[in-house]
Structures are given as C-alpha cells and as structure tokens.
Amino acid sequence: MKSVGRVETQYLDLPAPVPLDCGRELSPVRVAYETYGTLAPGGDNVILVCHALSGDAHAAGVSAEPAAAGTRDGFGAEDRDGAAGAALGWWDGMIGPGKAFDTDRYFVVCTNLLGGCRGTTGPSSIDPGTGRSYGSDFPVVTVADMVRVQKAALDALGVRRLAAVAGGSLGGMQALEWAVRYPDLVDAVVAIASTHGLHAQGVAWNAIAREAIMRDPAWQGGHYHGTGAAPEAGMGVARMIGHVTYLSAPALDDRFGRRLQAGDDISHTITGAEYQIESYLRHQAGSFVRRFDANTYLYLSRALTYFDLARQHGGGSLPRALSGLRARTLLIAFSSDWLYPPAASADIADALRGLGKEVEYHVIEAPYGHDSFLLEEARQTPLIQRFLAGEGGA
Amino acid sequence: MKSVGRVETQYLDLPAPVPLDCGRELSPVRVAYETYGTLAPGGDNVILVCHALSGDAHAAGVSAEPAAAGTRDGFGAEDRDGAAGAALGWWDGMIGPGKAFDTDRYFVVCTNLLGGCRGTTGPSSIDPGTGRSYGSDFPVVTVADMVRVQKAALDALGVRRLAAVAGGSLGGMQALEWAVRYPDLVDAVVAIASTHGLHAQGVAWNAIAREAIMRDPAWQGGHYHGTGAAPEAGMGVARMIGHVTYLSAPALDDRFGRRLQAGDDISHTITGAEYQIESYLRHQAGSFVRRFDANTYLYLSRALTYFDLARQHGGGSLPRALSGLRARTLLIAFSSDWLYPPAASADIADALRGLGKEVEYHVIEAPYGHDSFLLEEARQTPLIQRFLAGEGGA
C-alpha cells in the first residue's frame, strides 16, 4: 500500500477564546494538525480523523518526529516506528491512497486534541496568567470541548462541512459528539470501538489509572512542570493498566502465556520481571512515560469517562440525544473488546434505527481486544470504503 | 444458620526450620490458626481450609479482632463485620453446624499462610538475624512452601491425615498442591475458583499491583517497617486493581452503573471522586491499607503467580503433574470469573478424568466474578456436602 509520504505537523492559533463546558474560557488555544490529500474546490471532501487517548495529529505518513503510536505501541508497534527516527502515523494503514480513508479522493485532517501534549494547548502549555505551565490549573475539558476546538480549527482552515468524522475509542466519542452537536455540518460518522458512555468497569479502570498518577508524590498536586520531576512511576502503572485493558486475555495468552523471561525455572524474585508479560509491561511503561505528559493523561482520561451522550444531550435518554442527528452512521465494534464492548455500539445502532436514521453496525470477530481498531485495518477497510461511497448495507 | 460462635486465633511455633523452594531455610516459624468443631478420636475428620490473598486464619465464627474479610470486603462485606468490633470469619457462611463444612461432623482447621501478616511468620515478622522486620529480606515463598508450613503445623497439632483440603482462589492452589505433594495424606480436595496456573492476564494484573506498591517511594526497597511510613498509596492502587478483577463487569454495572456520587451533573474535577464506582474504590483502598501489610501483598501475589502445577510437578505436563494424586477432587468455578476462568478448572478436570481419577467439576452461573466463591455460599453448599459425603456425581 502506498503511504501519504513525508508529512509535517502544522500549527494554528485560534482567533477567539474557546468557551468550555466547565464555564471557563480558554485562550490562547493552539492546535497541532496534519492534513493528507487535497481539499476539493467545493470543500465537500473533508474527513476529520479524531485520535484516542495517547495519539496525536500524526495519523498517517512518515514524520521526522518520534511517533505517539495511537493508543497502542504494543503488538506490532515495531511496524510503526520506521528506521532512523522516522515515525509512521498511528493510523497509516487506514489513511492514504486507496486506503479506507482514501487520500486520492478525500482531504483528511487530524488534530491533536484539546488537553493534549503533542502541540495542541493542554496542561503542559504556558498559562498566560502565570507564565508557567497550567498543570492542574488547566480547565477540566470534555469531549464536547475537544470538538469545539476542532470546529474552530476547521473554520480557521476554511473547512465548512465534513464529509465524515471518524475515530476509534475516544476518537469515536468525538465523532459521535460532532454529529450530535453540529448535525448540519456532518454528512457521515464512523465510530469504531467506541461508546455512548463508558460502562462502570471502564470508569473504574480510568479512575485507577488516574489514582496511580495522582498518588505519585512527584505529581506534586499537578504542578510538576519545571520541577525536574514528573510522576513517571505512577504514569507507568497507569499505562500498564491501560495496556492490559486494550488487549484481550486470549491475545495475551497467545503472545506471552506463562513463559519465563530467562531460563527454565523461576528465580524467586519479588522485584524482578520473571515472566515475559511482566517484562513487556515494564518496557511499555518505560517507553510511554518518555513521550507522554501525565497531566494530559489525567485530563483525557477524565474527559472520556465523562462522555455520556444520553446525559449530555438527551436528559438521560440515548434516543433523545440522537434525535437531531442527520449524518449517516457506521459503527464498528470488535468481538474481543471488553473495554468498549460491542454492546455499547449496538445500543447506538438500536437507538438510531428506532429513530429511522441510516446506520450500519458491524462486529468484527478479532482476537486483539480494544486495540483491534488499530490492528485490524484490512477488515475495517472494505466496510469503511463501501460506507463512504454510500454503498453500505445495514 | 448457626455459627461456630465465639472463636479466638491461636498460635504455635514450629519445632524445626522449614526448607523452602528457594533453597533457604526459615526459622523460627510461627503459625496462627483457628479450629472449629471437634477432632474425632480416630483423627479422620479433619478439613483444612486455606485462605486467599487477603484472608487470615479467622475463617468462621465471631472474633473480637477486626476481620480480614477474605479476599473481599466489597459487595455484602457489611454483613461480615458485626457490631462493636466483633468480626465474622471470611467463610462463615460455609463453615459451621450444618453448613458446607459441617462442624458437627468435621474438625475444621484454618491457618494464616506463610508470608502472611495476620499472625503467621511473614515479611513483617522479626528477622532473628537482624532484630528488625525482614521486609524484602524475607525469602520468596511459594504455594508449596505454604503447604509445607501447614503440614508442619498439622503435625504439631497431632493431625496425621486430612479428610479434605479446601480453598478458593490462592486457597484452591494450596488445596491442589496438598493433594499432589502429599497424595497419601489427603482424601479429598475442594478447589474453588482456582487454577493450575494463572493465565497471562492474571500474571499481568498481579505484576501491575506489585509495581504500584514497589514504585511507591514509601516502600523504601521493602524496608519501611519501623520508619513510620508505608506504601499505602501504592497498595491502595494495588487493591483497586484487585477489586475490579475480583468482580465482573456486569456486576459493576448493576451496582454502580454511571451514577454520580453527588448531584445531577458532573462537577468537572480531576482529583475528586465523581462517580459512585470511583468513591467505592477509594473507600476499599483506604480500608485495606489500614489492615494489610504491603510486603505480604507482594509476597503472596508473587507466590500465586508462580504457582504452576504442570511446571512444578509434571515437567510442563498437567496430566503428569496430577498422575500421583489419590484424592477425590471437587472443582467449582463461576461463569463470570474472568480472573480464574472456568477453563482452568476444566483443564484440571479433563486431566484427572484422563488419568481415571475421581473428579467432579461444576460451573455455577453467577454474576459476581471471582468473588463468587465468597458470595455464592448457598449454591456451593449442596455440591460440597454431597461431595464430602461421597454422594457426588461427575
């Protein structure tokens, strides 16, 4: 498959303060973004791609900067990091000439989301009021706030209408929020491995990950920037938790089983990594803390926990929340995804069907759990291509 | 149901050093234990009950000491803690007159396991070589070592033979180890919600919990005893992880859903407990760290991760490991237990059947996940009673 080739992240500063759900206004706001393909003269070929918790604006092509690698730098992540520091986008298998999001036809935009740490304004940005990083003084943002910022950025880029909004996980939440918030601007939604509201266990995992960060003394109440310390120990634990929840138990059995890291017998160690899975988790934690900001982790984890279409838009009713939606909707879930189980996508599909809206819902049988949205590119591609071409079947 | 009534934990000091799998010898070793019922003159009515990670010797009846509450002090745990500090044993619903382990007939013994923090020698005990707590100088113990200590304790109590060994989770591992290690001494095994070897995801959860403790600076390399500090922050995170893995996702949905802790709308907080499940986890973590030693958590988590019948006794083959077993075996698993899934019990049952041994295997449909072994007493009781009476069917 061809790639979009060499890309560079660009930046724009929003012209006006952004009003937030919490009641505060944020200013200035910078947005990091990348684009792939060419904007059609009529402006009717734009697809906004939204990233997940640990992703960034670098969704496709090769960048000279190190990759953030989507929500996942585990299984097969080796493939993502090219040689000599060149990094492949986190959804490169899905975005490019002839791919699911075909850059020969579409103008694909991806922005680093509000609260992020990869170029868009977030907790590590400078607070103009103090001249230092916001830290935990950064306003608590929601998925709706992320979408407001994307909207303002697209306005600044001259994009008036979206042929589609697409994303997986937290990215899928943004896509759904777009369609509900701006029903007249969105023609189609592709929400993958996502939900209208995380289930209790998902709320719990996110809470525990945040606890691990906030209980690290190096967090310093959220004001660790500039102190020379950072809650790396706690964020490592958070990442380990996340990693296990992104994968399925059978996938871990297949990949690691109970294999020892070295030798034929246990070495009776409390502190050492005895099993391959233990060593793998430590490695994942170590590489993650080097590239990600702990406060961004807290803020994005909170935002995706808060996301609740029914509560925010429907007074508790999902059908009411979706009643104004005008976009065609494609929902894809994965059979082994226990963090964002298919049932949530099925809820959305049922509600949309009940409202007489155009919706397709597919469950892909895949063993990799939630991370399937990053790994099962070959099986998502025809579904997305047919859907975008208006040829999908319910 | 009648209770065994008022009980008191007793203590005995083993007469000889205990040789351990790691090659070291441990001495002195004290064992905390409780007994319920009366030892028959022929000594043929003894049932050893083995506890799980966070349990203790107080399995039944009412103690004046605060309860350890088994592996679980969550759903329904309120029932366990009597008024005015009197604490009900962690398996009181299963042990007593007319109960699954009927104290009108059997003499039931429960010991706090080696490495524990509730009376039996463990990392918080005094190292005679230094006069201070062992801390992380305590030898890394295995389930086999726990069983060796139980054997020595039973010898000291004059018990020569076991009518049955029973336990859930880590307790079930001990029961299986007993039957394999001392085939001539064990007539029956009851292993509930247990396994012959934790799957990769279980290894991962345990590793992450240990990381959370060891990454807490208050752990101090394992030598926090006597410093006035303890890794409570890290152990709180470990406990939260454990708690979620002990319960099923549907059980959390039923109990908590996405209900907010206070008010009708979110309060935009990073540090606060916004959802009921978040508040619940914090509460569970807080009460656990007050009653449990972090090093014991590390050592027991390591021991249960190491447990691997096939590797330890069969050169990698489960049937070979079980080939010398002479006890009748009852295996109970729970449909929603994803930490110790039924598949592992099924493996054991298949291996025993293949060897022509007497085995019963039941999967109880229950929604509570791994904690079902502490909660589904009513449905386990007839299975256990019939099995112990020799009336079970395969």
Residues of chain B with CATH 3.40.50.1820: 10-201+308-388
**B237 close to A (CB below 8 A):** yes
Closest CA to A67 of A34, A109, A100, A99: A34
B371 labeled binding residue:
yes
Between positions 41 and 80 of B, the ones with CB within 8 A of A are: none
SS3 A70: coil
- Taking only the tens place, the pLDDT of each residue in B34-79 is 999 999 999 999 999 999 999 999 999 999 776 554 434 444 443 3
Distance CA A19, CA A245 (A): 33
SS3 B303: helix
Helix and strand counts by DSSP (H, E) for chain A: 12, 16
Which of chain B's residues have a Cβ under 8 Å away from the Cβ of A299? 270
CA distances from B256 to A204, B339, B381 (A): 10, 20, 29
Judge: A258–B338 Cβ closer than 8 Å, yes or no: no
Distance CA B25, CA A237 (A): 34
Which of chain A's residues have a Cβ under 8 Å away from the Cβ of B211? 236-237, 240, 281-282, 285
DSSP string of B8-35, one letter each residue? --EEEE-SSPEE-TTS-EE-S-EEEEEE
Closest CA to A124 of A289, A299, A304: A299
SS3 B268: coil
Judge: A270–B298 Cβ closer than 8 Å, yes or no: yes
How far B354 CA sits from the closest chain A CA (Å)? 24
Which of chain B's residues have a Cβ under 8 Å away from the Cβ of A249? 199-201, 338, 341
SS3 A116: coil
- Whether the CB-CB separation of A169 and A52 falls below 8 Å is answered with yes
What pLDDT score does B264 carry? 86
- Taking only the tens place, the pLDDT of each residue in B85-106 is 469 999 999 999 999 999 999 9
**A386 close to B (CB below 8 A):** no
What pLDDT score does B76 carry? 41
- Whether the CB-CB separation of B50 and B171 falls below 8 Å is answered with yes
For chain B, how many residues are written?
Answer: 394
Out of A212, A269, A277, the one facing B140 most closely (by C-beta) is A269
Cβ neighbors of B204 (< 8 A, separation 6 or more) are: A240, A244, A252, A277, A278, A281
Judge: B237–A277 Cβ closer than 8 Å, yes or no: no
Residues of chain A with CATH 3.40.50.1820: 10-202+308-388
* Fold entry, domain B10-201+308-388: Rossmann fold (3.40.50)
How far B259 CA sits from the closest chain A CA (Å)? 9
Judge: A215–B237 Cβ closer than 8 Å, yes or no: yes
**B337 close to A (CB below 8 A):** no
Q: Is B169 a catalytic residue?
A: yes
Q: Is B184 a catalytic residue?
A: no
Task: State the CATH architecture for A205-299.
Answer: Orthogonal Bundle (1.10)
* Fold entry, domain A10-202+308-388: Rossmann fold (3.40.50)
Judge: B241–A200 Cβ closer than 8 Å, yes or no: no
For chain A, how many residues are written?
Answer: 394
What pLDDT score does A263 carry? 86
3-class SS shares of chain A: helix, strand, coil, % to 5: 40, 15, 45
**B279 close to A (CB below 8 A):** no
Catalytic residues of A: 169, 337, 370
3-class SS shares of chain B: helix, strand, coil, % to 5: 40, 15, 45
- Taking only the tens place, the pLDDT of each residue in B228-256 is 999 999 999 999 999 999 999 999 999 99
What pLDDT score does A78 carry? 35
Distance CA B64, CA B68 (A): 12
- Whether the CB-CB separation of A370 and A193 falls below 8 Å is answered with yes
DSSP assigned state of A390: T
- Whether the CB-CB separation of A219 and A136 falls below 8 Å is answered with no
Task: State the CATH architecture for B203-299.
Answer: Orthogonal Bundle (1.10)
Judge: A241–B269 Cβ closer than 8 Å, yes or no: no
CB neighbour class for A262 (10 Å; exposed up to 12, middle 13-18, buried from 19): exposed
Which of chain B's residues have a Cβ under 8 Å away from the Cβ of A302? 269-270
Which of chain B's residues have a Cβ under 8 Å away from the Cβ of A237? 208, 211-212, 215, 237
How do beta strands B30-36 and B107-111 pair?
Answer: antiparallel
Place of tokens 């937030």: A20
What pLDDT score does B83 carry? 35
- Taking only the tens place, the pLDDT of each residue in B152-201 is 999 999 999 999 999 999 999 999 999 999 999 999 999 999 999 999 99
CB pairs under 8 A between A and B: 165
What pLDDT score does B393 carry? 52
Distance CA A318, CA B378 (A): 39
- Taking only the tens place, the pLDDT of each residue in B51-60 is 999 999 999 9
pLDDT block averages, 10 residues each, chain A of length 394: 91 98 98 98 96 97 69 40 63 98 98 98 97 98 98 97 98 98 98 98 98 98 97 98 97 98 94 98 97 97 98 97 98 98 98 98 97 95 97 59
Cβ atoms within 10 A of the Cβ of A390, count? 10
The secondary element (H helix, E strand) that includes residue A379 is helix A377-388
Question: What beta strand segments (E) does A124-251 contain?
Answer: 126-127, 132-133, 164-168, 188-192
